[in-house]
Structure 1
């Protein structure tokens, strides 16, 4: 039985004291689901693990349902394979080392491909001090003033593109890729 390496991204946990998910409990829950080599990174809901389940959507549903049962609230879950994560990082169009070091580069992971018409509508809008590009199921975001001041934030992206999304900075994505290897 071949084990695949996955990264799960949980949306909106441990923010402002709401939807608290202790990482120790989350890891233990994952291990009860027969996920192997479970590691979490920071408190925002990043899990690296191995599983014999062969499809990311099956893993996402498994985690979503168990989190809902265990913690008693709904948490959107996006799951990527290590190859999928590597491709997302490689396709990042914002590669300025200065921007990466200054924490201006963000990855908005989309749970599905947005409709072409919705992407077209979004492309007609401008956001001062922000640049973005959508490649496959990731919206790459460069925030000149930092993500905290960004107008094009996760909630707006979800509303405009009608998809579930979760945002991570470059350092987090890079660290998760390192943890997978």
Structure 2
């Protein structure tokens, strides 16, 4: 099975630095094949046998902590799941750099999203997917309000990628 691993918070501060060559070697050391990384933000593609995705994510996290000194949260999706994320997007993409997908470890709680007054985060937009939140930030990503509100109220582990990254990961995952 082909997987996409999204590591949260990689290379955003001096304490979370991981070289992508080291991440590739780590994944290969776990026995995964066809390993590729994309950008410096903790995106990896690899092939693994039919296994428990939570088990794979846990092994990656533990090995990162042991070998690289950083134990990031790891959100895993299969390439077909990533295809569904792209195809089922419920929002208009006006600017792919300001359009984000928050990949969550669990199914989003619709009550949490619906329970936040949109006036608190306007003009930002949000829509719920299977295990993702689709968000648009028309004013850019510097001072977003919505992610902090969602994380504070839901407590669900998530990591965000912009639409350009999501679609590129899909291309890489489905490519030769």
TM-score by length of 2: 0.91
1:93 and 1:62 map into 2 onto residues whose CA distance is 33
Alignment of 1:95-134 (within 5 A): 95-96=92-93, 98-100=94-96, 103-122=97-116, 124-126=117-119, 127-134=121-128
Gaps in structure 2 of 5+ consecutive residues = none
Taking the aligned partners of 1:116 and 1:105, their CA distance within structure 2 comes to 20
Per the alignment, in what secondary structure is the counterpart of residue 6 of structure 2?
Answer: strand
Q: State the shift of 1:117 in Å.
A: 3.7
The aligned counterpart of 1:56 is: 53
Report the number of matched residues: 173
Alignment of 1:22-101 (within 5 A): 22-96=19-93, 98-100=94-96
Task: State the SS of the aligned residue for 2:86.
Answer: helix
Question: Does residue 151 of structure 1 match 2:148?
Answer: no
Partner of 1:172: 165
Report the Cα offset of residue 6 of structure 1.
0.2
Structure 1, unpaired ranges of 5+? none
Q: Normalising to structure 1: TM-score of the pair?
A: 0.89
Alignment partners' CA distance in 2, 1:43 and 1:57 = 23
User: For 1:128 and 1:119, how far apart are their aligned partners in 2?
Assistant: 13
Structure 2 SS opposite 1:147: coil
CA–CA separation in structure 2 for the residues paired with 1:19 and 1:99: 29
Shift of 1:137: 1.1
Note if contact 2:110-2:128 (Cα within 8 Å) is conserved in structure 1: no
Q: Secondary structure at the match of 1:67?
A: helix
What's the secondary structure of 1:34's corresponding residue? coil
Mapped contact 2:88–2:129 kept (Cα < 8 A): yes
1:146-167 superposed Cα distances (whole Å, 9 cap, x missing partner): 12231113x4422221100000
Structure 2 CA distance for aligned equivalents of residues 76 and 138 of structure 1: 16
Paired residue secondary structure (2:5):
strand
